[in-house]
Amino acid sequence: MKQGYHKKNNQFHHKHSLGQNFITDDALFAQLVELSGVGPEDTVLEIGPGAGGMTKVLSKKCKKVISIEIDSTLIPILKVTLHHCNNVELIHGDIMQVNLQEIMGDKGAFHVVANIPYYLTTDLMQMLLSSKLSIESISVMVQAEAAQRMVAQPGEEGWGMLAVKTQYYYDAQIVLDVPACMFTPPPKVDSAFVTMRRLSEPSVQVENEEMFFKVAKAAFAMRRKTMANNLIASFRISREEAENWLSACGLERTVRGETMSLQDFANLANDR
């Protein structure tokens, strides 16, 4: 979800293709920045500054703000809005295409704050979660359903790879529910603000992260199948090998992936 607009024929119009819905409440901007936990010594990467409402708040709160905006028609507006914000660096570009290593690689540890368009949530979160950059925290406004998928627990409907990747690296919490009426135009669904604090070390100990995520991915490949069936398909092993693998890790041979925990995935990965 974004906070943005562009000007045409002296009127402001939303770009539906970019998922633009506006937040105009200054008090909400201040609350979101406060909830993000960023402070005067922090550098922030802001994704999708829109019209710059949150950017201004971040500028007053933080040491440095790097804002990346995809909409070329918003750049002139942002330059005016942020004219007095000397600690803001504005970049015109697509967050999925820019070289973040080049932009943020020499900035040291930093925080991410973003209002994410619904259509971009999964791809952007996967990109951030897989990044090798020094991201200390991620604070995002997303569709409420997507927020639930980040914090879901084993056995819950939203439990899947997004939750696994999020919770492996971060302590994630939904800190604020934001109703659709807070946006202009209001979307058809509510949103939520999620804060994710980087853990000092991953939540479970694994010998090989690639294997850990391969096991987890297998668990959700075919949700109606047992984990044994998913292991057979993903690892090209026999049923006997799959069931023995599960048993060796203390798991029932009929267990389903959507009920398994991060520790269960770690145990399987470490036993491979």
To the nearest 10 degrees (0 to 180), the angle between helices 121-130 and 161-169 is 40
* C-alpha dihedral sign at 263, 134, 98, 71: positive
Please measure the distance between the N-terminal and C-terminal CA atoms of the chain and give it in whole angstroms.
41
Across 82-108, b (16+ Cβ under 10 Å) vs e yields: beebeebebbeeebeeeebeebbeeee
To the nearest 10 degrees (0 to 180), the angle between helices 262-271 and 209-219 is 120
Is the model's pLDDT at 13 over the cut of 80? no
Distance CA 12, CA 15 (A): 10
130-134: average pLDDT: 93
Is the model's pLDDT at 1 over the cut of 70? no
How many residues would you count in the chain? 272
Q: Which residue has the tokens 């479970």?
A: 204
Across 19-51, b (16+ Cβ under 10 Å) vs e yields: bbbbbebeebbebbbebbebeeebbbbbbbbbb
Summarised one tens digit per residue, pLDDT across range 143-196 is 999 999 999 999 999 999 999 999 999 999 999 999 989 887 788 889 999 999
**Spatial CA neighbour of 87 closest among 114, 65, 109, 107:** 65
pLDDT at position 12 is 39
Is the model's pLDDT at 139 over the cut of 90? yes
pLDDT at position 119 is 86
pTM: 0.89
pLDDT at position 184 is 77
CB 49 within 8 A of CB 78: yes
- 209-271 folds as Helicase, Ruva Protein; domain 3 (1.10.8)
CB atoms within 10 A of CB 16: 10
Q: If you ran DSSP here, which 8-state letter would residue 199 be given? A: P
Is the model's pLDDT at 8 over the cut of 90? no
111-123: average pLDDT: 90
Distance CA 2, CA 271 (A): 44
17-31: average pLDDT: 75
Summarised one tens digit per residue, pLDDT across range 27-82 is 999 999 999 999 999 999 999 998 899 999 999 999 999 999 999 999 999 999 99
Q: Where in the chain is the domain with CATH 1.10.8.100?
A: 209-271
pLDDT at position 271 is 96
pLDDT at position 95 is 95
Peptide bond preceding 179: is omega within 30 degrees of 0, i.e. cis?
Answer: no
Q: Where in the chain is the domain with CATH 3.40.50.150?
A: 6-198
At residue 11 the predicted structure's pLDDT band, cuts being 50, 70 and 90, is very low
Summarised one tens digit per residue, pLDDT across range 205-261 is 999 999 999 999 999 999 889 999 999 999 999 999 999 999 999 999 999 999 999
Distance CA 138, CA 134 (A): 11
Is the model's pLDDT at 135 over the cut of 70? yes
pLDDT at position 19 is 45
Is the model's pLDDT at 18 over the cut of 50? no
Q: Which two tokens stand for residue 51?
A: 């019209």
Q: 6-198 maps to which CATH number?
A: 3.40.50.150
